Copies of this chain bind each other. A is one copy, B any other.
Amino acid sequence: MDPRYRLVISCPDRMGIVAMVSNFISSHGGSIGDAQQHSDSNSGWFFMRYEVTAGNGPFSLDQMREAFEPIAQSFNMTWRMEDSSKPKRVMLMASREAHCLADLLYRYHAKELQCEIPCVVSNHDDLRSMVEWHGIPYHHIPVDRDDKATSFAKVRQVVEEHEIDTIVLARYMQILPPDLCGDFANRVINIHHSFLPSFAGARPYHQAHERGVKLIGATCHYVTQDLDAGPIIDQDVIRISHTDEIEDMVRLGRDAEKSVLARGLRWHLQDRILVHGNKTVVFN
């Protein structure tokens, strides 16, 4: 099969972007398959995602990137050109709750997620057996309330050792330090167990029960330094009724959490998510 790559671009909207980009691809032997473009009239910003089959041209992906750089600069683009065949390296982080981790591991096992998962990190040891059954190394890094710096230095070491691209907080329940958030901007995905912005922070199902809502939700977002306030990737809800106690809401909510997180991660792995300001464009 011919090599394939994905070209993802955000830039100020201007005439001629599409012609310029598609000529570049065509003149380098590429063929554009699925593609999406969005022009945001509010912000004056333009977004595009192209799936390109490279053809049997003489150009490597690195050469393509180099050749594209001047165009990108002239249009003031934020861009990336990603090898479709190269899976991202994802580190999962969990705490004691198994459901999101188990779901992602199952999907990974079933080849639903195009990525590599070189390791799982948890601040507890509870989920080790499940992870190791999948043949994935499990790093138990407890988080000491009085010395988080040391704990997260260890996390950082694991990240580097495994050459991690993307971190998924699969109900990790700990706040990452600002430097890690910063270095992995738009590459740390969290699942929050409420329909944000409702019920941010702790114990969202208790908050939801107290308020008497009729739908509970889950929100998948990129992590920023503001708790539960990063760019939203996806959300979903599940209907509840007066018969559902908090423990039922927790149980029902798990299904929303699992599916929303898996969907968000999938889009991320396929370079379908473009962040602009505190919002996402999702070309799905």
List residues of A whose CB falls within 8 A of some B CB: 13-19, 22-23, 25-27, 30-42, 47-48, 51, 55, 98-99, 102-103, 106, 109-110, 112, 129, 133, 195-199, 211-215, 217, 231-237, 241-243, 245, 251, 255, 259, 278-282
Contacts and interface: CB of A to CB of B under 8 A. Distances in A.
Contact of A236 (B27, B215, B231): B215
Given A18-B22, A26-B15, A26-B19, A213 B241 contact: no
A234 B48 CA distance: 26
A136 to B, nearest CB: 14
Contacts of A106: 98-99, 102-103, 106
A26 to B, nearest CB: 4
Nearest to A235: B214
Contacts of A27: 19
Given A18-B22, A26-B19, A37-B32, A235 B213 contact: yes
Contact of A232 (B35, B196, B213, B255): B213
Say how many copies of this protein the assembly contains: 4
Contacts of A18: 18, 22, 25-26, 32, 35
B36 A37 contact: yes
Nearest to A42: B245
A48 B251 CA distance: 26
Contacts of A35: 18, 35-37, 48
A17 to B, nearest CB: 8
25 contacts: A14-B31, A15-B26, A15-B30, A18-B25, A19-B26, A33-B37, A33-B39, A34-B37, A35-B48, A36-B37, A38-B243, A40-B242, A42-B245, A98-B106, A99-B110, A106-B106, A112-B251, A133-B133, A195-B237, A197-B211, A211-B232, A213-B235, A215-B235, A215-B237, A242-B282
A148 B232 CA distance: 41
